[in-house]
Amino acid sequence: MLSAASGSLQERDEEQEDEGEEELRDGGVPFYVNRGGLPVDEETWERMWRQVARIHPNGEALGRDIRRATDLPKIPIPSVPTYQPTTTVPQRLEAIQKYIRELQYPLTELMDIAKEMTREALPIKCLEAVILGIYLTNNMPGVERFPLSFQSYFSGNQFHHIVLGVHSGGRFGALGISRREDLMFKPLELRTLMDLVQDFEGAYRGYWHTLRKVRIGQYVSHNPHSVEQIEWKHSVLDVEKLSKEELRKELERHTRDMRLKIGKPLPPSPTKDRRNSMGSPLKGPASPMRRISRAERRPSGEKRGLEQKSSADINGYQIRV
């Protein structure tokens, strides 16, 4: 009896689903929303094929031919860059940037011609590109890395973007990803941190964006097993309120702070509570802000001390490329 009742309920659900799909076919919403993310799950694929069969003149035959095909082009998977011992630092950074770029958004267009969604080499966004850049430069001790993020304003909306700043041989550059060519990779050619920030600011102006704030982190450890957390915003500079000279002084001060961190001993292993709070700057509750003494206050706004801070302080940080 229970079996009959459950069977009846299932049939009713299927009828309701069919009615809903019939409504879509008769002029309702012409597409389905994939709520499961990537890779696409089997249930979503089946629903997509059913939709093809309904809306395409030869939908069933077309879907059957595609699903049975064995000669569909393979999705290209970029190779992780490798180097010769004689490869220079700028050449290595260019190779890393090329690899990051090959993982960007256009890969999604290739999914349309594939038999199944690839489970490797999925498209990445700017924050993921920063983490990837850190990982790929961990074995380059002569290259210091630091997060560099921007808050811009355009047409009543705020936008956030982040890249990985790099410093080597007395020159600054950046690695990253963006839909805009001049908002990601910067060759290792800029003499100061001010030059790097101004380069990005000029790029934003070219897209009619007003750069409001620049957040600069500390150097990231090269030890992949380090218990240090990434310090995402050691300095927060209000570009709109600072004069050019004030901005230059703040960036010079931050550069000195970063140099002081080189050779600093690692902090002790975190406690269980602190370890649980580690993670992406997009997750976790905000930790209480430390009271800033008068001597530490800067006209640029927030300024972190050299003490280790939780990366959760960057709560609310929305990444938009």
The type of residue at 262 is I
Residue with the bigger pLDDT between 264 and 239: it is 239
At residue 199, the pLDDT reads 95
Single pTM value for the model: 0.53
Taking only the tens place, the pLDDT of each residue in 3-44 is 544 555 455 444 444 444 444 444 455 556 677 777 778 888
Q: Which of 149, 178, 235, 300 is catalytic?
A: 178
The type of residue at 18 is D
At residue 321, the pLDDT reads 35
293 as an active site residue: the answer is: no
Structure confidence at residue 315 as a pLDDT band (50, 70, 90): very low
Q: Which of 183-197, 212-226, 265-279 has the highest mean pLDDT?
A: 183-197
Q: Which of 126, 168, 221, 234 is catalytic?
A: 126
At residue 286, the pLDDT reads 41
Residue with the bigger pLDDT between 121 and 127: it is 127
In DSSP terms, 145 is beta-bridged to: 166
At residue 46, the pLDDT reads 86
Which residues make Cβ contacts (< 8 Å) with residue 175, sequence separation at least 6? 93, 96, 97, 100, 129, 130, 133, 137, 163, 164, 166, 184, 185
CA dihedral 178, 181, 184, 186 (to 10 degrees): 170
At residue 30, the pLDDT reads 55
At residue 80, the pLDDT reads 85
234 as an active site residue: the answer is: no
User: 75 and 114 in contact (C-beta within 8 Å)?
Assistant: yes
Structure confidence at residue 305 as a pLDDT band (50, 70, 90): very low
The answer, yes or no, to whether residue 237 has pLDDT greater than 60, is yes
Structure confidence at residue 58 as a pLDDT band (50, 70, 90): confident
At residue 205, the pLDDT reads 93
Phi and psi at 317, nearest 5°, equal -75, 110
Taking only the tens place, the pLDDT of each residue in 73-101 is 777 778 888 888 889 999 998 888 888 77
Chain center to CA of 227: 22
Q: Nearest to residue 150, comparing CAs of 241, 243, 215? A: 215
Return mean pLDDT, the chain.
72
First-residue to last-residue Cα distance in the chain: 56
Tokens representing 158 are: 């705020």
Q: Which of 149, 152, 160, 161 is catalytic?
A: 161
6 as an active site residue: the answer is: no
